[in-house]
Amino acid sequence: MSGARPRRLLTVCLGNHCRSPVAALVLGELGGRAVEVRSAGTRDKWVGHPAHTQMVHAAAAAGYDLTAHRGVHLNRGLLEWADIVLAMDAGILAVVRALAGEVTGTTLGPYLEDRDVPDPWGKEPAAFADVVRLIEDGAPRNLP
């Protein structure tokens, strides 16, 4: 596989403030040079902002540094860049499919095979830690 381009993964959640930044970080660290990972949100409220404070803490407790993250709004260019787009839940996947339209060569699907990654927004800190563990558990199925 030497000389092959890394697989481009795009993780997507609602605001690019909690779930998708952690998923991108986990996939990037576990996938190494075999992947290039970005994240985005379907809403633009958190563009340019750091990740949710509770998610930064939960990620750090699991050994991931999310402090450099800044929110990005999902756009067609990102969809065209990606080989695989991984949505954090069924609602996000529907929005991604609508935006993708005729984009070819990009696979769209859920991050987890059998369930949504729940949005921890507005919940207790334990919910953020649970999301980090769920994302870690689901990472291997999304890596080459």
Q: Looking at the domain covering 7-142, what would its CATH class be? A: alpha beta
Residue 34 pLDDT > 50, yes or no?
yes
> DSSP characters for 44-113?
-TTBTPPPPHHHHHHHHHTT---TT--B-B--HHHHHH-SEEEESSHHHHHHHHHHHTT--S-EEEESSS
Other Cβ atoms less than 10 A from the Cβ of 49: the count is 13
Q: What is the pLDDT of residues 11-28, one digit of tens each?
A: 999 999 999 999 999 999
- For residues 85 and 12, the answer to whether their CB atoms sit within 8 Å is yes
Q: What is the pLDDT of residues 48-84, one digit of tens each?
A: 999 999 999 999 999 999 999 999 999 999 999 999 9
Cα–Cα dist 87/11, whole Å: 6
What percentage of the chain carries pLDDT values higher than 70?
A: 98
Name the pLDDT band for 2 (thresholds 50, 70, 90): low
Cα–Cα dist 54/60, whole Å: 10
Residue 3 pLDDT > 70, yes or no?
no
Domain layout of the chain by residue ranges? 7-142
Residue 130 in 3-state DSSP? helix
Q: CA distances (Å), 128 to each of 19, 69, 83, in order? A: 9, 16, 28
pTM of the model: 0.95
Other Cβ atoms less than 10 A from the Cβ of 131: the count is 25
Catalytic machinery residues: 13, 19, 119
Q: What is the pLDDT of residues 87-104, one digit of tens each?
A: 999 999 999 999 998 877
- Rounded CA Rg of the chain: 14
